[in-house]
């Protein structure tokens, strides 16, 4: 099975705004299949296209019920608050307690172009919001308070993220 190389913090593609998907074709289906393989190989719960260098608005996830893809996803509704220790496949070795909405409803397309509405509570809601951020060039570091962010950037500078990208560091879930 082919997999993609996961882009690591510092790669400019992670900071760019991804573009709407306009063609739901065989090439997109192949991209999604390879993203699923990449996500499983990296033991991630979710993976957004920009994380494999593709500037398209789609992400995949699997929180234990099989692989799902959402194309051109957008938030319909969000409510509540939930604190969770987030990790990111593109920022290996680091994880942070981040508060975000608890219940999240998103709308998007499946690979056949059907509209799909999904509701995610707690972990699934967190996966949605984390992956949606990737589509806008936003990383979990941007969700930290300024002091924590400063410490995080220092930690990133002091370690070789590329070297530890393949290791399973800590027990946090990576998105
Ligand atoms: Zn991530």
| Predicted local confidence at residue 20, as pLDDT | 98
| Predicted local confidence at residue 172, as pLDDT | 62
pLDDT greater than 90 at residue 157:
no
Q: How far is the CA of 2 from the centre of ligand 1 (A)?
A: 21
| Predicted local confidence at residue 46, as pLDDT | 97
Based on the residue annotation, tell me whether 37 is a catalytic residue of this protein: no
- Do residues 62 and 45 touch, judged by C-beta distance below 8 A? yes
Q: Give the mean pLDDT of 110-126.
A: 98
DSSP 78-92: EES-EEEEEE-TTST
Which CATH number does the domain housing residue 34 bear? 3.90.45.10
* Average confidence score pLDDT of the chain: 93
Q: How far is the CA of 127 from the centre of ligand 1 (A)?
A: 9
Q: How far is the CA of 75 from the centre of ligand 1 (A)?
A: 17
**Domain containing residue 97:** 12-167
Inside any domain, residue 48: yes
pLDDT greater than 80 at residue 166:
no
pLDDT greater than 70 at residue 169:
no
Q: How far is the CA of 157 from the centre of ligand 1 (A)?
A: 18
Inside any domain, residue 71: yes
Inside any domain, residue 7: no
Inside any domain, residue 173: no
Catalytic residue chosen out of the listed positions 97, 131, 158, 167: 131
Inside any domain, residue 148: yes
Total number of domains in the chain:
1
């Amino acid at each position: 099975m082919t997999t993609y190389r996961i882009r690591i913090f510092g790669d400019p593609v992670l900071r760019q705004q991804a573009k709407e998907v306009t063609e739901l074709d065989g090439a997109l289906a192949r991209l999604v299949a390879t993203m699923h393989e990449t996500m499983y190989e990296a033991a991630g719960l979710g993976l957004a296209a920009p994380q494999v260098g593709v500037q398209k608005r789609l992400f995949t996830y699997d929180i234990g019920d099989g692989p799902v893809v959402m194309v051109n996803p957008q938030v319909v509704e969000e409510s509540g608050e939930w604190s969770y220790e987030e990790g990111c496949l593109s920022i290996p070795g680091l994880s942070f307690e981040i508060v975000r909405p608890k219940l999240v409803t998103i709308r998007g397309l499946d690979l056949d172009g059907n509209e799909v509405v999904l509701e995610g509570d707690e972990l699934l809601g967190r996966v949605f919001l984390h992956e949606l951020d990737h589509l806008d060039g936003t990383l979990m570091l941007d969700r930290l308070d300024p002091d924590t962010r400063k410490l995080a950037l220092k930690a990133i500078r002091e370690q070789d993220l590329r070297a530890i990208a393949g290791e399973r560091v800590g027990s946090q879930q990576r998105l």
